[in-house]
Structure 1
Amino acid sequence: MGEMSKKRCVPCEAGALPLFKPQAEELLKKLDGWALSADAKKITKEYRFKDFAEALAFANRVGAIAEEEGHHPDLSISWGKVGIELSTHAIGGLSENDFILAAKIDEAPRA
């Protein structure tokens, strides 16, 4: 996981194509606990916490990381849970940026 989190997200160039499923599956091996959607257009993970306040604090840390990287996940926050969905909307699928951001999120403090 370490090598992915050291990279930086870069804007997708015009005409960039989303990753093919085999490419996404290979990058997914570098992450812990993330799932690839059946259509290979997004990756998801759910984090669990002891209460809503911890979940919200983690979501705010994820937001700060996303702002720093210029790449933004879809978040769902509920009592004791934060769901994260990553996809590169500009290209209609996954890019390396999604895996970089996932690795950085995994390294974020949980409490």
Structure 2
Amino acid sequence: MSPYVAPVVMLIASNVFMTFAWYGHLRYPTAPLWIVVLVSWGIALLEYCLAVPANRIGHEVYSAAQLKTMQEVITLVVFAGFSVLFLKESLGWNHLAGFALIACGAALIFKW
């Protein structure tokens, strides 16, 4: 897989894991906190196994700033989907407008 494409695919997958690690437990508010922490930690390990190689591979063709920006935009897109589909929370116009402004900032990183 191309070093242009592989980091994007791997960062999407890693962000799915990280979103579940950080926010998945919110659907289970009665679960004991120590169990939530251990499960989240295990899920986060999978995220690191994808994110670290994604950044190593991606750094062949992208700057560190571009990789970080890419990761943040991917995080927002994954989180938006997760929030609506898994947590059953709605996104308002203000969330979408805020995400759009962040996307505009990301475009500046890749433009010059």
**Do both share a fold (TM > 0.5)?**
no
Structure with more strand by fraction: 1
Larger-Rg structure: 2
